[in-house]
Amino acid sequence: MRHGESRPAGGGAKSILLVDDDELNLQVVARRLFQDGYYVATASSGPAALETMNRQRFDLVLLDLEMPGMDGLETLKRIRALSSRRETPVIMLSAHNQNSAIRSCLVHGAADYLVKPLVMPLVRARIERHLAAPAARTDEPGTLETERDVRILIVDDDDLSCRLLASQLKSRGYAPSTVTSGKAALERIGRDDLDLVLLDIGMPDVTGNDILRSIRADARTKKLPVIMVTASNDVPTMLSCVDEGADGYVTKPVDIAYLHACILSSLEAKRRGPRLDLD
């Protein structure tokens, strides 16, 4: 095998190209993906990634954004310029969550964006989504759906948190509305034409997970983007939300720049094609 390859026993494994200039990150993440049954090739720079992709076709690319020389964004642009690789899903990896950087990646064809340090069960869940049915791509970089007038329903039993988050989103051009109970949320979701829901998990009457399951069970709303907002940051809670169909997960206190990035990513995924369920 060439340097930087890990191939599971048996054929038919999905192939992933992992690109990161940090050798330790490469080894750790590649080993975890290999243990999950993926064929993994690695590259430590943008030029090396492009050379590898010219030799071999991959089902998905995990691409670090911050690399010396040719950074991840420039590498992404060049991948999208390769006619034979234009539809390969690319998930960007970054230790930073500046919304301008995330927007640039999405505009130039990234399928998703994950913030380091990586939580591997969530990385696997995102990979599985994109490998299940990659979103259709056009020949040109996409144009992000504008945030302006995007209708967002904020669901949280803490009225002060609702009003603060609504004010922050309104200042960014969104059109937020709020409810402070699960029952009211279900009524609004069933009645109103919404673009996205921000959903608190811990509510006394109907939990956020209950509402999420209801949204995904209804044919009218099953593709509605839902981002969970919660004070809990434990991995089992994150995974339960992902397994039940959440499009994102943001912990309190909310970093508005990161939330904005998650909203942009969810809206772009909706624009590109149908929501990709794990089951």
Q: pLDDT at position 143, please?
A: 44
Confidence grade of residue 142 (pLDDT, cut at 50, 70, 90): very low
Bigger pLDDT: 269 vs 7: 269
Distance CA 95, CA 12 (A): 32
Distance CA 175, CA 128 (A): 32
- Do 5-132 and 151-272 have matching folds? yes
Q: What percent of the chain has pLDDT over 90?
A: 47
- CATH 3.20.20.100 matches 151-272: no
Average pLDDT in the chain: 82
Most confident of 7-16, 91-100, 215-224, 240-249: 215-224
Ramachandran assignment for 199, one of left (phi > 0), alpha (psi -120 to 50 degrees), beta (any other)? beta
In the structure encoding, which two tokens stand for residue 116, read together? 């380091």
Q: pLDDT at position 102, please?
A: 72
Domain regions of the chain by residue span: 5-132, 151-272
Task: Decide the pairing of beta strands 5-6 and 112-115.
Answer: unpaired
pLDDT digits (tens, 9 = 90+) for 243-270: 788 888 888 888 777 788 778 777 766 6
Confidence grade of residue 90 (pLDDT, cut at 50, 70, 90): very high
Q: pLDDT at position 213, please?
A: 94
Taken in order 134, 139, 143, 145, is the CA torsion positive or negative?
A: negative
Mean pLDDT, range 172-193, rounded to an integer: 93
108-114-117-118 Cα dihedral, nearest 10 degrees: -130
Ramachandran assignment for 7, one of left (phi > 0), alpha (psi -120 to 50 degrees), beta (any other)? beta
Q: Lowest-confidence range among 122-131, 142-151, 170-179, 238-247?
A: 142-151
CATH topology of domain 5-132: Rossmann fold (3.40.50)
26-28-30-35 Cα dihedral, nearest 10 degrees: 180
Q: pLDDT at position 139, please?
A: 40
Mean pLDDT, range 150-166, rounded to an integer: 93
Mean pLDDT, range 136-165, rounded to an integer: 72
